[in-house]
Amino acid sequence: MESTKEKYREVVQRTEEKLLPFLRTFEKLQEEIHLGRVGEAQTRLREAGEDLFPTLTTELVTLSPPESLTEFHTKLSEAVSSFAEAYTTFLSGKGQQFAQAFLQSRQALCRGLYLLYDLRAQLPVLQQYWLLPSALPALATLETPASDAEVPVGFSHKPGTNTHTQYSLYVPENYTPQQTWPLIVCLHGGYGRGDDYIWTWLRPAKSKGYLLLSPKSAGPTWSVLNPPLDIRSIQVMLEEVCTTYAVDRKRVYLTGLSDGGIFTYLLGLSCAELFAGSAVIAGEMHALVDPLLRRSQGKAVPLLIVHGAQDFIFDVAFTRQSVTLLQKLGYNVTYQELPDWGHAYTYAINEQRVLPWFESITGLRTE
């Protein structure tokens, strides 16, 4: 029996060793995706996955696990099947249909990630995928639940109510109410979801000890033409989280990508008292911000703006003008322009730019 279990574990380890570079490649492609270079991205993904799928899926289906690992095997097989679906869907997108294929591929990828994350204690090779390299030596500490934590930790997904939309929450596994914890509100892009975008923030949040609140917009995207709709929803869910967990109210940060960046301007200025800082990633400043600026609303809140010079959705020239305007009005703006980036997901940007900036402004806000 022990020999059977050892052989099974060997297969699982080989599966991990194959999945890790695939996941990293897929993530990198989503950070660098450009509508003018879809074929190049598909070629790179094909090279990363052609020796995996469907071979890996078939291998797991035909493998008989030890009885004690049946549930583990079922989840791992489902995760690999989700990654195979993400892979084939991404490659299937052609021309104008690529955007829809990309979104469907992303959804399949995230399904697989949630399954893998639940199994992480039994997948040691993949442990490094969930953390920043600098945090790996502290893995055991970060994964050890506190004895006094009587609330859910890890990922949770809250359904919508009559006062707020659905949202996803991440709470570090070593959470304890004996200290206060910083929190990041992260807003997805157009036609995105909170349970999708939260993954771009997991590594820094888990490694550095941040709660993540990732709301879903009321509609397909954020209600720019009727801001109170989503603003009220986010206010309610934020209060719900802060009531349940020991959140440091002086270290609540706001950030958003694309349409989420547009809404970060509106929410961050309208509800400036809630946030220690805001970061807009690849988003435009909407005309509805104008009356807020005229009243100097939110001027005390530090603002980071990150934009790609190759952005094919929102022209960088408009963002440069917005930065100049904000600076002339006396807002505390930090602008970072990325010469080679377009309009895509933000894993490395969150890890290397946004979180370090949040940490640099702690305590700098003036009332």
Determine the Cα–Cα distance for residues 270 and 130; give it in Å rounded to an integer: 34
**Which of 112, 290, 231, 255 is closest to 183 using CA atoms?**
255
Using one digit for the tens of pLDDT, what is the confidence trace for 20-79? 999 999 999 999 999 889 999 999 999 999 989 989 988 898 888 999 999 999 999 999
The single residue listed with the structure tokens 């991205």 is: 41
| pLDDT recorded at residue 72 | 97
Q: Domain boundaries in the chain?
A: 2-128, 134-361
Domain boundaries 134-361, corresponding CATH code: 3.40.50.1820
Using one digit for the tens of pLDDT, what is the confidence trace for 261-308? 999 999 999 999 999 999 999 999 999 999 999 999 999 999 999 999
pLDDT band at 198 (very low <50, low <70, confident <90, very high): very high
Q: What is the pTM of this model?
A: 0.96
Determine the Cα–Cα distance for residues 176 and 244; give it in Å rounded to an integer: 12
> Over 60: is that where the pLDDT of 195 sits?
yes
Average pLDDT of 340-366? 90
| pLDDT recorded at residue 118 | 98
| pLDDT recorded at residue 364 | 56
Q: Contact, 341 vs 291, CB < 8 A?
A: no
Query: ω before 54 within 30° of 0 (cis)?
Result: yes
| pLDDT recorded at residue 220 | 94
pLDDT band at 363 (very low <50, low <70, confident <90, very high): low
Using one digit for the tens of pLDDT, what is the confidence trace for 154-172? 999 999 999 999 999 999 9
Query: What percentage of the chain reaches a pLDDT higher than 70?
Result: 98
| pLDDT recorded at residue 292 | 97
Average pLDDT of 170-192? 97
